[in-house]
């Protein structure tokens, strides 16, 4: 991106940092360092140029990442000056963000459910909408039973980690075709649910024994190959195999639910996330595959987001 970062180093004065609009002119005091308040303000203004950014929040998160300070420290200590090394790190992070890199990949972390997960460019950035799958699974299944549950297409392992951390009696298996994503999931599961979860790099549920699972939960790719949304926001930087699934976006849901039929126990539970306009198509797929009690659930914005069912006995 051609946009310049305003926390610029003026030519010929490489040790000084100049802030546009700063009443304390840097020409009078060339060695003066920017304060936290100034750095956050100018960065937030710059980040307004990005579509779908949360400028002030992102500026704070990047400054925390660059300096190692807690967010509360930034808010309670806004007049503190930023040292040269921290400032150089901060500027480089802001440049990356201005070039379109998602904030989650820059920080290497993303909040999901109650957890702070590791994410990389090999994993989808977990979305708040996906917490609906966690809620539905926690509501529908007995908390203290020793259930075997599979998170199909686990990416960072977000769903498996959330469920396993909430339900110590359950065992969570996370699967993903990407070995690199599976490594990230392994680290997140070790950190958040070390005693009752594991990960396998494989095609959906392929290596799982028939009739062994109590539940299959998944947020598979479901965007149509030609959907222009694939060019918006963070999506162009996320792995395409995590997002797109054929001409109608339903290839992955068909494949994974077909595999689930053989591997679920009788009355086994399935919960799948899908696009807001795919509810009726997903209900039809699950009905055709032998599931009953099929219900589509809405997310917080009132849009159809996940469909659940029970394998007919």
Ligand X SMILES: C[S@@+](CC[C@H](N)C(=O)[O-])C[C@H]1O[C@@H](n2cnc3c(N)ncnc32)[C@H](O)[C@@H]1O
How many other CB atoms are found less than 10 A from the CB of residue 224?
18
Q: In the bound complex, what is the minimum distance in angstroms from residue 125's beta carbon to ligand X? A: 7
CB of 180 to ligand X, least distance (A): 9
Nearer to ligand X, 220 or 268 (CB): 220
Specify the residue, 38 or 176, whose C-beta has the smaller distance to ligand X: 176
Longest dimension (CA), the chain: 81
Q: Which is nearer to ligand X, 47 or 150 (CB)?
A: 150
The DSSP code for 77 is: -
- Closest to 244 measured CA to CA, from 261, 257, 231: 231
**From the centroid of its chain, how far is CA 118?**
9
Between 35 and 123, CB nearer to ligand X = 123
Handedness of CA 198, 200, 201, 205 (dihedral sign): negative
Question: What is the rounded distance in angstroms from the CA atom of residue 269 to the CA atom of residue 214?
Answer: 6
Q: Which residue ranges make up the site for ligand X (CB under 6 A)? A: 124, 126, 130, 153-156, 158-159, 175-178, 181, 203-204, 219-221, 241-242, 252
Q: Rounded to the nearest whole angstrom, what is the least distance from the CB of residue 130 to ligand X in the complex? A: 4
CB of 154 to ligand X, least distance (A): 5
Q: Sign of the C-alpha dihedral, residues 201, 271, 257, 312?
A: positive
Task: Pick between residue 78 and residue 246 the one whose CB is nearest to ligand X.
Answer: 246
In whole angstroms, how close is the CB of 187 to ligand X at the nearest point?
14
What angle is formed at CA 214 by the lines to CA 196 and CA 311, rounded to 5 degrees?
160
């Amino acid at each position: 991106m051609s946009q310049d970062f305003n926390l610029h180093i003026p030519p010929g004065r490489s040790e000084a940092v100049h802030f546009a609009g700063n009443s304390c002119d840097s020409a009078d005091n060339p060695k003066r360092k920017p304060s936290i308040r100034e750095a956050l303000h100018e960065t937030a203004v710059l980040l307004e140029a990005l579509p779908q950014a949360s400028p002030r929040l992102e500026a704070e998160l990047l400054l925390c990442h660059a300096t190692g300070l807690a967010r509360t420290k930034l808010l309670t200590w806004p007049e503190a000056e930023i040292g040269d090394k921290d400032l150089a790190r901060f500027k480089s992070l802001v440049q990356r963000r201005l070039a379109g890199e998602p904030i989650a990949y820059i920080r290497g972390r993303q909040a999901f459910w109650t957890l702070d997960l590791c994410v990389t460019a090999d994993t989808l950035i977990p979305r708040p909408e996906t917490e609906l799958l966690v809620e539905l699974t926690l509501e529908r299944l007995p908390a203290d039973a020793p259930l075997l549950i599979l998170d199909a297409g686990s990416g960072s392992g977000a769903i498996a980690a959330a469920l396993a951390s909430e339900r110590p009696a359950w065992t969570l298996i996370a699967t993903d075709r990407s070995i690199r994503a599976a490594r990230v999931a392994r680290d997140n599961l070790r950190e958040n649910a070390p005693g009752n979860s594991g990960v396998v790099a494989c095609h959906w549920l392929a290596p799982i024994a028939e009739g062994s699972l109590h539940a299959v939960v998944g947020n598979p790719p479901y965007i149509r190959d030609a959907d222009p949304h694939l060019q918006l926001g963070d999506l162009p930087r996320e792995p395409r195999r995590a997002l797109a699934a054929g001409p109608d976006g339903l290839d992955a849901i068909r494949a994974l639910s077909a595999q689930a039929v053989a591997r679920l126990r009788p009355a086994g539970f399935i919960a799948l996330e899908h696009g807001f306009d795919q509810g009726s198509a997903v209900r039809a797929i699950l009905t055709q595959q032998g599931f009953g009690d099929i219900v589509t659930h809405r997310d917080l914005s009132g849009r159809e987001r996940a469909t659940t069912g029970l394998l007919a006995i």
